[in-house]
Amino acid sequence: STSMAYIATRENCCILDERFGSYCPTTCGIADFFNKYHLTMDNELQEMDRILRQITN
């Protein structure tokens, strides 16, 4: 993964208008990412927890 900020340019953003300042993801994008992250993490944590409890028994 990269920690570099995504900066809007003429090439990657067809609605770019500098008068509106810098561009950020919408909260819909944030919610979509959050959902994906949430599902993956939830499954992985559940699985790790399950395996560890199996070892304990």
Partner 1 sequence: EHMSQSTCQYEKSWPICADDDWGTKCPSGCRMQGLIDETDQDYSHRIDTIKKLLAENQNNYKK
Closest CA to 30 of 40, 21, 38: 38
Q: Is residue 16 a contact partner of residue 10, using CB atoms and an 8 Å limit?
A: yes
CB of 56 to partner 1, least distance (A): 6
Q: What's the longest Cα–Cα distance across the chain?
A: 63
Residue number, 5 or 52, with CB nearest to partner 1 = 52
Q: Residues in the site for partner 1, rule: CB under 8 A?
A: 26-28, 30-31, 34, 38, 41, 45, 48-49, 52-53, 55-56
CB of 52 to partner 1, least distance (A): 4
